[in-house]
Chains A and B, each alone.
Chain A
Amino acid sequence: QVQLVQSGAEVKKPGASVKFSCKASGYTFTDYYMYWVRQAPGQGLEWMGWINPNSGGANYAQKFQGRVTMTRDTSISTAYMELSRLRSDDTAVYYCARGRYSSSGYQYYYYMDVWGKGTTVTVSS
């Protein structure tokens, strides 16, 4: 079955960086985009960006531009997201999610069909 296994919880100090991993199994890793979404305590869902595992191309939400980097290692079917210059308001659960698409003509519309269990990051001095 399709599964996304995320790395374990992290505690970081303000200004540090954190790198998350998301290991995919049960499907061809390069056939689906990978998305990253975060959720602050008691808050809603916030999209951070996506990576195309086939090409390595990525698109980031403007809010995180300059602080986030998404990469992948196709040899081990794993996607990574690094977030730098951490602040206390980056404390959240970070999810990876597989992107599936519908098409209309030559355009593709992606939604998130399978999610990892999430990685909790606590940023505190």
Chain B
Amino acid sequence: DIQMTQSPSTLSASVGDRVTITCRASQSISSWLAWYQQKPGKAPKLLIYDASSLESGVPLRFSGSGSGTEFTLTISSLQPDDFATYYCQQYNTYSPYTFGQGTKLEIK
């Protein structure tokens, strides 16, 4: 199985900050990586697919980059609505699809 490791596990930041979350794959997944945002008690929401493609309706302050084994999700200027948990997920290999353990973005 491909292991996905996110860092940090928790991130404290302030409104207006630029933040970056990293996701590393245990083997190359090309660009087949998605990022999801999840708020408490809610379903995950797709933000980024194919490592860097912004899902329709997602604010432009979100961006993704990377290929191979190292990927990043960047929020250029944090807004109050962005405090949530973020997950990466690889879909290079479908058996099984695997998620990172999550990064909780907290208000400083």
Contact = CB atoms under 8 A, between A and B. Distances in A.
Pair from one complex: yes
Contacts of B92: 109
A123 B49 CA distance: 34
B87 A112 contact: no
A95 interface: yes
Interface in A73-120: 95, 97, 100, 102, 104, 109-118
Contact of A47 (B30, B43, B50, B99): B99
Contacts of A62: 95-96
Contact of B95 (A59, A95, A109, A118): A59
Contact residues of A: prevailing secondary structure: strand
- Chain A interface bracket (under 10, 10 to 19, 20 to 34, 35 or more): 20 to 34
A92 to B, nearest CB: 13
A67 to B, nearest CB: 15
A8 interface: no
A89 to B, nearest CB: 17
Contacts of A59: 94-95
Interface of A: 35, 37, 44-47, 50, 59, 61-63, 95, 97, 100, 102, 104, 109-118
22 contacts: A37-B44, A45-B36, A47-B98, A47-B99, A59-B95, A61-B95, A62-B96, A63-B96, A95-B43, A97-B44, A102-B32, A102-B50, A109-B50, A109-B91, A111-B46, A111-B50, A112-B36, A112-B44, A113-B46, A115-B43, A115-B45, A117-B43
